Chain A
Amino acid sequence: MLVIDDLWVNIDDKEVLKGLNLTVPAGETHILFGKNGSGKSTLLMTIMGFERYRVKQGRITFRGQDITYLPTFERARLGLGLSFQRPPTIRGVKTADILRVCSRGAIAPEALAAAYDFTAFLDREVNYGFSGGEIKRSELLQLLAQNPHMVLLDEPESGVDLENLQVVGAIIAKLLQKERRRLHRDKSGLIITHTGFIMDYVNADRAYILGAGRLCCQGNPRELLQDIKNFGYEECAKCRR
């Protein structure tokens, strides 16, 4: 699904990613751990193709196509979907409107919102005055409407209370076809998480630690999280499994 090969990325002339390699096969969900500022969000933003994130070297291939220099909207249309950690507010644009945009008119926002208890927000301006949990639900519903082949989730559980976490987890599980048997899944995910809470809702296949601009450790998501808890990022980075 996604293959990243020797990726070097600058933000405002500062080197952030330094030779990162990553492969996420179809139907798999991978988790990205790493300290604050280690470049996790940079990786997702670069995959999505935002202007500020300059690729200096390397290649990103998605569904067999080189997308390294493709405009963001074309990546979205190819089937990449991003849930923002802190999305902007768009005044005057209603949540129902953006759900229509995401699905390119293919779904009725009312039905989608009703299924996830979000009807009251349809008439509200996108992200305006939303709580942390509401923002995440809005982001994930947009992805459901968009129905991408691969989702990039930037800390989907941050700022979400326990009650909302269940809804958030359920939507992510749906996005990643967790209701199907593993063999029959074809959607992929790359998820940034600090707490690992989200792993209770999605059985992730593999996890990595991002440090010093590249993936420095990988393994079973739960084991890796336990190691980080026990030994800290520094030790994990040193072991270089």
Chain B
Amino acid sequence: MSEIKERAEQSRQKKAAFGPDLNLEDFSRQGGAWAYDPDYRQFSPEERSRLLTAGIELTDEDHAGTFLQADKAIVHCQTRQPGVEVLPITKALQTHAWVKDLLWGLVPVDADKYTASTELDLDNGYFIRALPGAKIEQPVESCLYLRTDRFAQHVHNLVVVEEGAQLHIITGCATHPGVVSGLHIGVSEFYVKKGGHLTFTMVHNWGKNVHVRPRTAVMVEEGGTYISNYILLRPVKSVQMYPTVTLNGPNAVARLQSILIAHSGCELDVGGRVILKAPRTRAEIIARTLAIGGTSIARGHLVGLEPHIKAHLECRGLILGNGVVYAIPELEGRVAGVDMSHEAAVGKIAAEEVEYLMARGLDEDEAVSTIVRGFLNVKVEGLPPALEQEMEQAIQESGKGL
């Protein structure tokens, strides 16, 4: 048995450091045998609109590449532009001998039972690579889709942005409208090489009894940039994730932004960690959490290991009606000459702000929506228009009946 398999075996039952502990036996490993679908013909209008709300447009048009995995099955996988490679991870392992050396290079296989079960019983996942110097203008769209109720999806993703390349990935994760419960485990490892640029936008739209355990780590080399946008607007049972970005070369930059709505019954534990390991690296973590009945733990951790680094963490929570927002910002400087700061605030909508806007002619619902919209106003570049509408709708619904 390989060392990795062995470590995975030993961690089969290992609880995660954070988040509610799940019994993996409660979920099924019997996914649907969905056929490959070059034209997206198998999707009903209902499914299409569901996927749209996760930013998935189900078209190859205007995309540099596309990938869709439903349960275990690869339903669609296309590369549309030179300079970019999109493959199922199982295929990439056969195509490139070096891929196996990158898997588990950043995320420890024995981190917890979720990483372990991904190694021991892998479904698939995506491999997306931008070749050296390739500037990929259009986004690559990937979709991880739970199409069968109670299914536990095990995914391992690998993204490689080679030297001087640029890539934007929009990944939408969603459940079939008929799926109520399930589990998604997604291990993701991203390598941004020297001077590379990766924007990774992840949109979640799960069912209200679905548990989600992403396990993400990113390595950014000299002069590279990693921008992550995470958007969760709809009900889910629990999400626990704590992606770690290592800025490994001088002048590397990371920005992690998240916009979360914790609905009633939701347990969110979402963090972000950036390790600034090289001189003149910069990092920014921005989190906006809106609690409308649910619980959200917003963690952030910046680790400064070299002088002349600059890092800022901003975590703001807004509670509408009821709910819990627990902001835990951590700054860890380990050498003189680091410049690190944080700003955390949790509050409710101030009556005087509502009245101010009402004095300008907005009714109470409009005033609340305007304030919520302002609160969630984090600029996310390149969002599909359907997603912007979805966001607007979620904002309007949030403010209702306060």
Q: Which of A's residues lie within 8 Å of B, judged by CB?
A: 48, 50-51, 71-73, 76-77, 81-82, 84, 87-88, 90-93, 97-98, 101-102, 104, 125, 142, 146
Chain A residues whose C-beta falls within 8 Å of the C-beta of B352 in the assembled complex: 88
The answer to whether A73 touches B371, judged by C-beta atoms less than 8 angstroms apart, is no
Measured in the bound complex, the distance between the Cα atoms of B362 and A194 in whole Å is: 31
Contact A104/B361 with A90-B374, A92-B374, A92-B375 known, Cβ cut-off 8 Å:
yes
The answer to whether A93 touches B373, judged by C-beta atoms less than 8 angstroms apart, is yes
Chain A residues whose C-beta falls within 8 Å of the C-beta of B359 in the assembled complex: 48, 50, 72-73, 76, 81-82, 84
The answer to whether A73 touches B363, judged by C-beta atoms less than 8 angstroms apart, is yes
The answer to whether A91 touches B360, judged by C-beta atoms less than 8 angstroms apart, is no
Q: Which of B's residues lie within 8 Å of A, judged by CB?
A: 350-353, 355-364, 367, 370-371, 373-377
The answer to whether B363 touches A71, judged by C-beta atoms less than 8 angstroms apart, is yes
The answer to whether B361 touches A77, judged by C-beta atoms less than 8 angstroms apart, is yes
Other 5 A-B pairs with CB < 8 A, given A51-B355, A87-B356, A101-B361: A48-B359, A71-B358, A73-B361, A97-B370, A102-B361
Measured in the bound complex, the distance between the Cα atoms of B321 and A148 in whole Å is: 34
Chain B residues whose C-beta falls within 8 Å of the C-beta of A71 in the assembled complex: 358, 363-364
Measured in the bound complex, the distance between the Cα atoms of B359 and A77 in whole Å is: 9
Chain A residues whose C-beta falls within 8 Å of the C-beta of B358 in the assembled complex: 71-73, 76
Contact of B355 among A50, A81, A101, A102 (CB under 8 A): A50
CB distance from B198 to the nearest CB of A (A): 27
Q: Pick from B356, B370, B371, B376 the residue with the most CB of A within 10 Å.
A: B356
Chain B residues whose C-beta falls within 8 Å of the C-beta of A88 in the assembled complex: 350, 352-353, 356
Q: Pick from A76, A81, A87, A125 the residue with the most CB of B within 10 Å.
A: A76
CB distance from B349 to the nearest CB of A (A): 10
Measured in the bound complex, the distance between the Cα atoms of B350 and A146 in whole Å is: 23
Q: Pick from A50, A82, A90, A146 the residue with the most CB of B within 10 Å.
A: A90
Contact A76/B374 with A87-B356, A88-B350, A90-B353 known, Cβ cut-off 8 Å:
no
CB distance from A199 to the nearest CB of B (A): 25
Measured in the bound complex, the distance between the Cα atoms of B352 and A84 in whole Å is: 11
Chain B residues whose C-beta falls within 8 Å of the C-beta of A98 in the assembled complex: 357, 360
The answer to whether B360 touches A93, judged by C-beta atoms less than 8 angstroms apart, is no
The answer to whether A73 touches B362, judged by C-beta atoms less than 8 angstroms apart, is yes
The answer to whether B370 touches A76, judged by C-beta atoms less than 8 angstroms apart, is no
The answer to whether B363 touches A91, judged by C-beta atoms less than 8 angstroms apart, is no
Please list the 6 inter-chain residue pairs (A to B) with the smallest Cβ-Cβ separation, ordered nearest first. A92-B374, A93-B374, A92-B377, A76-B361, A72-B358, A73-B358
The answer to whether B375 touches A91, judged by C-beta atoms less than 8 angstroms apart, is yes
21 A-B residue contacts at CB 8 Å?
Answer: A51-B355, A71-B363, A72-B355, A73-B358, A73-B359, A73-B362, A87-B356, A88-B352, A88-B353, A88-B356, A90-B353, A90-B370, A91-B374, A92-B373, A92-B377, A93-B373, A97-B370, A98-B357, A101-B370, A146-B360, A146-B361
